[in-house]
Amino acid sequence: MPDTTEPLFFKSPFDLFIDHAEGAYLYTRDGRKILDAGGGAVVVHIGQGREEMARVAADVVSRINYIVPVFDSAERTALVERLKRWTPPGLTRFYFTSGGSEAIESAIKFALLCQKTRGRGTRTKIISRQFSYHGNTLGALSAGHNLRRKDYEAVLIDWPKIPPSFCYRCPWGKTYPGCDIDCANALEAEILKQGPDTVAAFLAEPMMGSSGGSVAPVKEYWPRIAEICRRYDVLLIADEVMTGFGRTGRRFGVDHWDIRPDILVGGKGLTGGYMPMGMVAADATLVEQCERAGADFMFFTYSNHPLACALANKALEIMERERLVERAATVGARMGARLKEDLSGHPMVGDIRGIGMFWSIEMVRERGSKIPYPPDQRVTMRVIDAALEQGLFVYPSRGMAGPAGGDAVMITPPFVIGDDEIAFITRTLRTAFDTVMASL
Ligand SMILES: Cc1ncc(COP(=O)(O)O)c(C=O)c1O
C-alpha cells in the first residue's frame, strides 16, 4: 500500500492516514483513535459506519448505477417526498448536485433565470456579505470574500458586498456584542446604490460558518433582510450548506428566525457524508414561472444520482427516527455550556459562541480588545495540531477579527456524541490551548 497521497493537487497540513471510521471516531492506519469533533468538514451528522446505510448502498448499486438525470427513479421520488417535509413551506421543487459549490452556482444561475423570465434581465448582480464562503467555483467565489479568492480576482465577477452581521471590528463603530440591525439596513442602502433594477438576489448563510466561526446575527437581522428583499423584488438565497439539516438544532438555520427564503441551498449533512451531494430547494412558483417561460435549466451529469438520492433519503429517515435534530439542540446546548464553563476563562480564548452542534472558539492575543494573533503565528493550525496529538480533531475557521482573518476552531461533531465525548473535547482543548500558548 502506498504511504503517501502526494500525486494529488493539494498539500495536506496533516500526516494522517485514516483506515476506517465508526460513529464519531476515526481510526488511523497506525492504530490511533481520533474523536472527529469537526464532523469532518461539518458534514457528519448521523455518525459514520451505519450498517443500514451500507445495506442501502449495496441494494441500490446492485439494481441501478446511473441514469440520465431527466429520468425518474424510486430513489429520487422518495427523497423529494421526504425533503418536502424538511424544507420551509413552499420550497417544494428540488435540484440535486454533487456538492455545495455546484448547488450555490446553480442557485445563483436559477435566480438570474427567474429575474430574466420575469422580464427583468437587467437584474444580474448577486449581493452577498463580506466574510462569507459560498464555495469553490468561480461564481461561488465571486459571491464570497475569502482568502481563497486571491489567485482568481482577475476573472471573478465584481458583485457588491455588505458588512457581516456581527463583527468585533464593527463597521458602525459599535462594541462587540452590541451589533444591531445596521448590518441588515446596509442591504437596503446597497440595493439603492446599485439600483434595484440591477440586483437579482441576496445570498448569505443564516449563521456564518467557516469564514467567521458560528456567528449568529441579532434576532431582528433576518426578518429585516427578508422585508428588504421583498420590497425591492430581490430574491433571497439562504446558503444552508453548513447550517442545514439539523446542524443548528433546527432543521434549517432560517427556522430560528421563521423566515422563508425564495431559494435554499443545502449539502454536507444531507447525506451525512455517505455520498457527495448538494441541493437547491426553490419556491415552486418560481420554478413554474421559469417553466411557463420555456426556460431550460441544464443538469450536471451526476444530478439526481440514484445512490446519492437513496443515501440522502436514508440519512434523513435516520435523523427523523432517532430525533437527531432535537438531539443536536439538547446535547449541543449541553456541549456549549460545558465549553463556556471549562474554557471561557482561558487566557487565549476570546469568545465561545454557537448553537446546536455548531460551536466555535475564537482565539485572540488580547481578550479585552479582541486583538487577534498575527496570521504568521498560525494559531488555528497549531491548536488543531496540538488537539490531534491527543486524539481530537476540530475544524479550522476564521475569527471575526477583520479582513486579515483571526483564529478560530469549530466544534461541530456528529449529533450522536454524548457526555463522555463532550468532556473529552473540553479537556483536550484546554490542554491544546495551554500547549500552544506556551509555544508562542
Ligand atoms: C456555507 C458554505 N457554502 C458552500 C460551501 C461549498 O460546499 P462544497 O465544499 O461542498 O462545494 C461550503 C463549504 O464548506 C460552505 O461552508
Handedness of CA 64, 65, 66, 70 (dihedral sign): positive
Least confident of 137-141, 165-169, 370-374: 165-169
**From 105, 132, 133, mutation site for ligand 1 pocket: most ligand atoms within 8 A of C-beta:** 133
91 Cα to the center of ligand 1, angstroms: 20
Estimate the crossing angle of helix 324-343 against helix 306-321, to 10 degrees: 70
Share of the chain above pLDDT 70, in %: 94
Indicate the top mutation candidate among 138, 210, 241, 280 to test ligand 1's pocket, ranked by most ligand atoms within 8 A of CB: 241
Res 180: pLDDT: 67
Q: Which of 120-124, 302-306, 375-379 has the lowest mean pLDDT?
A: 375-379
Q: For 3-12, 244-253, 269-278, 347-356, which range has the lowest pLDDT when averaged over its residues?
A: 3-12
pLDDT at position 401: 63
Which one has a higher pLDDT value, 170 or 247?
247
Nearest protein CA to atom 10 of ligand 1, as residue: 100
Among protein residues, the one with the nearest Cα to ligand 1's atom 5 is 135
Identify the DSSP state of 217.
P
- The domains of the chain are located at 18-49+323-439, 53-321
CATH architecture of 53-321: 3-Layer(aba) Sandwich (3.40)
Tell me, what's the pLDDT at 4? Answer: 58
Atom 16 of ligand 1, nearest CA residue: 242
The pLDDT, as a whole number, for residue 55 is 98
* Type of residue at 147: L
Average pLDDT across the chain, whole number: 93
User: What's the 325 CA to ligand 1 centre distance in angstroms?
Assistant: 20
pLDDT attached to residue 1: 54
Q: What pLDDT was estimated at residue 216?
A: 87
Does residue 175 have a pLDDT over 60? no
Residue 172: per-residue pLDDT: 67
For residue 178, pLDDT beyond 50: no
DSSP code of residue 132: B
Phi and psi (nearest 5°) for 22? Answer: -150, 125
Which SS3 state, helix, strand or coil, does residue 227 take? helix
Closest atom of ligand 1 relative to the 101 alpha carbon: 11
| 266 vs 183: which has the higher pLDDT | 266
Q: Which is the closest atom of ligand 1 to the Cα of 135?
A: 6
Q: Which residues line ligand 1 (CB under 6 A)?
A: 41, 99-101, 104, 133-136, 205, 209-210, 239, 241-242, 267
Asked if residue 5 has pLDDT above 60, the reply is: no
Per DSSP, the three-state class of 95 is: strand
Give the atom of ligand 1 at the shortest distance from the alpha carbon of 102: 11
Round to whole Å and give the CA distance between 180 and 409: 25
Indicate which residue's Cα is closest to atom 4 of ligand 1: 134
Residue to mutate, 105, 134, 147, 358, ligand 1, most ligand atoms under 8 Å from C-beta: 134
Q: How far is the CA of 242 from the centre of ligand 1 (A)?
A: 7
pLDDT band (50, 70, 90) for residue 174: low
Residue ID of nearest Cα to ligand 1 atom 6: 135
Please state the separation of Cα 111 from the chain's center in Å. Answer: 20
Between the CA of residue 140 and those of 133, 174, 269, what are the distances in Å? 8, 30, 19
pLDDT of 344 reads 96
CA atoms within 13 A on the CB side of 108: 24
Question: For the domain 18-49+323-439, what is the CATH code?
Answer: 3.90.1150.10
pLDDT at 179 over 60: no
Find residue 278's DSSP bridge partners: 97
Which atom of ligand 1 is nearest the CA belonging to 243? 1
SS3 329: helix
pLDDT of 9 higher than 50: yes
Q: Whose CA is nearest to atom 3 of ligand 1?
A: 134
Q: pLDDT digit string (tens) for 280-301?
A: 999 999 999 999 999 988 999 9
CA distance 373 to 406: 7
Cell numbers at residue 216, please?
A: 449568529
For residue 26, give every residue at least 6 positions away whose Cβ sits within 8 Å of its Cβ, in sequence order, or none: 18, 33, 34, 36, 393
What does the pLDDT average to over 420-428? 98
* Residues 6+ positions from 262 with CB-CB distance below 8 Å: 111, 114, 201, 229, 235, 236, 237, 282, 283, 286
Which of 14, 90, 40 has its CA nearest to residue 242?
40
- Tell me the average pLDDT across 261-274: 98
426 and 394 Cβ atoms separated by less than 8 Å = no
Grid coordinates belonging to 132:
462569507
Average pLDDT over residues 108-126: 97
Distance 8 CA to ligand 1 centre (A): 20
Ligand 1 atom with the shortest distance to the CA of 132: 1
User: b or e along 270-303 (b: 16 or more beta carbons within 10 Å of the residue's beta carbon)?
Assistant: bbbbbbbbbbbbbbeebbeebeeeeeeeeebebb
